[in-house]
Amino acid sequence: MKILKNSFYFSNIIIIIFYLYPGSILGCFLYNDCFIQPQLTRDFIVSSNHVYVFFILSTLGFISFSKNLKKITYYLILLSIVLELLHIIIPNRSFEVEDLLGNILGVLLSLILFKLFIFRRLK
Protein backbone atom coordinates (compact mmCIF):
# COMPACT_ATOMS: atom_id res chain seq x y z
CA MET A 1 0.00 0.00 0.00
CA LYS A 2 2.92 2.33 0.71
CA ILE A 3 4.17 2.02 -2.86
CA LEU A 4 0.73 3.11 -4.14
CA LYS A 5 0.71 6.17 -1.88
CA ASN A 6 4.24 7.08 -2.97
CA SER A 7 3.19 6.64 -6.61
CA PHE A 8 0.24 8.95 -5.98
CA TYR A 9 2.45 11.60 -4.34
CA PHE A 10 5.02 11.35 -7.14
CA SER A 11 2.28 11.59 -9.80
CA ASN A 12 0.94 14.72 -8.10
CA ILE A 13 4.33 16.38 -8.27
CA ILE A 14 4.81 15.44 -11.94
CA ILE A 15 1.33 16.67 -12.92
CA ILE A 16 1.81 19.95 -11.07
CA ILE A 17 5.15 20.50 -12.84
CA PHE A 18 3.63 19.69 -16.26
CA TYR A 19 0.64 21.96 -15.63
CA LEU A 20 2.67 24.91 -14.35
CA TYR A 21 5.38 24.78 -17.03
CA PRO A 22 4.88 27.66 -19.49
CA GLY A 23 4.66 25.45 -22.57
CA SER A 24 4.68 21.73 -23.22
CA ILE A 25 7.42 19.64 -21.61
CA LEU A 26 6.41 16.63 -23.71
CA GLY A 27 6.39 18.80 -26.84
CA CYS A 28 9.96 19.88 -26.06
CA PHE A 29 11.14 16.26 -25.94
CA LEU A 30 8.99 14.67 -28.63
CA TYR A 31 8.85 17.44 -31.26
CA ASN A 32 11.72 19.69 -30.21
CA ASP A 33 9.08 22.43 -29.93
CA CYS A 34 7.80 23.50 -26.51
CA PHE A 35 4.64 24.99 -28.01
CA ILE A 36 3.25 21.79 -29.53
CA GLN A 37 1.12 19.67 -27.22
CA PRO A 38 1.12 15.92 -28.02
CA GLN A 39 -2.41 14.60 -28.50
CA LEU A 40 -3.10 10.95 -27.60
CA THR A 41 -6.58 10.87 -29.13
CA ARG A 42 -8.86 13.37 -30.79
CA ASP A 43 -10.82 15.68 -28.46
CA PHE A 44 -14.55 15.29 -28.41
CA ILE A 45 -16.41 17.71 -26.14
CA VAL A 46 -13.68 17.73 -23.50
CA SER A 47 -9.91 17.43 -23.71
CA SER A 48 -9.10 13.73 -23.92
CA ASN A 49 -5.52 14.17 -22.63
CA HIS A 50 -6.87 15.79 -19.47
CA VAL A 51 -9.40 12.99 -18.95
CA TYR A 52 -6.64 10.36 -19.21
CA VAL A 53 -4.27 12.17 -16.84
CA PHE A 54 -6.85 12.82 -14.14
CA PHE A 55 -8.36 9.35 -14.52
CA ILE A 56 -4.99 7.75 -13.79
CA LEU A 57 -4.17 10.17 -10.96
CA SER A 58 -7.62 9.71 -9.41
CA THR A 59 -7.46 5.93 -9.65
CA LEU A 60 -4.15 5.96 -7.79
CA GLY A 61 -5.64 8.33 -5.22
CA PHE A 62 -8.82 6.33 -4.66
CA ILE A 63 -6.93 3.06 -4.26
CA SER A 64 -4.34 4.65 -1.94
CA PHE A 65 -6.83 6.54 0.21
CA SER A 66 -9.96 4.40 0.00
CA LYS A 67 -10.64 5.02 3.71
CA ASN A 68 -10.88 8.79 3.05
CA LEU A 69 -12.80 8.69 -0.22
CA LYS A 70 -14.65 11.94 0.41
CA LYS A 71 -11.49 13.90 1.22
CA ILE A 72 -9.48 12.54 -1.73
CA THR A 73 -12.39 13.30 -4.08
CA TYR A 74 -12.53 16.90 -2.86
CA TYR A 75 -8.76 17.17 -3.20
CA LEU A 76 -8.72 15.85 -6.77
CA ILE A 77 -11.55 18.09 -7.94
CA LEU A 78 -9.98 21.11 -6.25
CA LEU A 79 -6.60 20.25 -7.80
CA SER A 80 -8.14 19.96 -11.26
CA ILE A 81 -9.82 23.36 -10.90
CA VAL A 82 -6.84 25.19 -9.39
CA LEU A 83 -4.34 23.87 -11.93
CA GLU A 84 -6.54 24.91 -14.84
CA LEU A 85 -7.25 28.35 -13.32
CA LEU A 86 -3.52 28.93 -12.91
CA HIS A 87 -3.24 28.79 -16.71
CA ILE A 88 -4.78 32.27 -16.70
CA ILE A 89 -1.55 33.73 -15.26
CA ILE A 90 1.08 31.33 -16.67
CA PRO A 91 2.77 32.63 -19.84
CA ASN A 92 2.09 30.64 -23.04
CA ARG A 93 -0.79 28.79 -21.34
CA SER A 94 -4.49 29.58 -21.45
CA PHE A 95 -7.52 28.62 -19.43
CA GLU A 96 -9.88 26.39 -21.42
CA VAL A 97 -13.25 25.16 -20.21
CA GLU A 98 -12.78 21.95 -22.25
CA ASP A 99 -9.59 21.20 -20.30
CA LEU A 100 -11.28 21.88 -16.96
CA LEU A 101 -14.20 19.63 -17.88
CA GLY A 102 -11.75 16.94 -18.99
CA ASN A 103 -9.99 17.14 -15.61
CA ILE A 104 -13.24 16.84 -13.67
CA LEU A 105 -14.58 14.09 -15.96
CA GLY A 106 -11.40 12.06 -15.37
CA VAL A 107 -11.92 12.32 -11.60
CA LEU A 108 -15.62 11.43 -11.81
CA LEU A 109 -15.12 8.47 -14.16
CA SER A 110 -12.47 7.06 -11.86
CA LEU A 111 -14.71 7.57 -8.82
CA ILE A 112 -17.67 5.84 -10.48
CA LEU A 113 -15.57 2.86 -11.57
CA PHE A 114 -13.94 2.64 -8.14
CA LYS A 115 -17.34 2.64 -6.39
CA LEU A 116 -18.71 0.03 -8.82
CA PHE A 117 -15.71 -2.18 -8.16
CA ILE A 118 -16.12 -1.84 -4.38
CA PHE A 119 -19.87 -2.48 -4.69
CA ARG A 120 -19.30 -5.66 -6.71
CA ARG A 121 -16.65 -6.82 -4.26
CA LEU A 122 -19.02 -6.45 -1.31
CA LYS A 123 -21.70 -8.62 -2.95
Mean pLDDT of 16-38: 81
- The total domain count for the chain is 1
pTM of structure: 0.88
Residue 49 belongs to domain spanning: 2-122
pLDDT in tens, 84-117: 999 999 988 889 999 999 999 999 999 999 999 8
Q: Residue range 64-85: average pLDDT?
A: 95
Q: What number is the average pLDDT over the span 73-90?
A: 96
Distance between CA 59 and CA 5 in Å, rounded? 11
Convert the pLDDT of each residue in 33-61 to its tens digit. 877 777 777 777 898 999 999 999 999 99
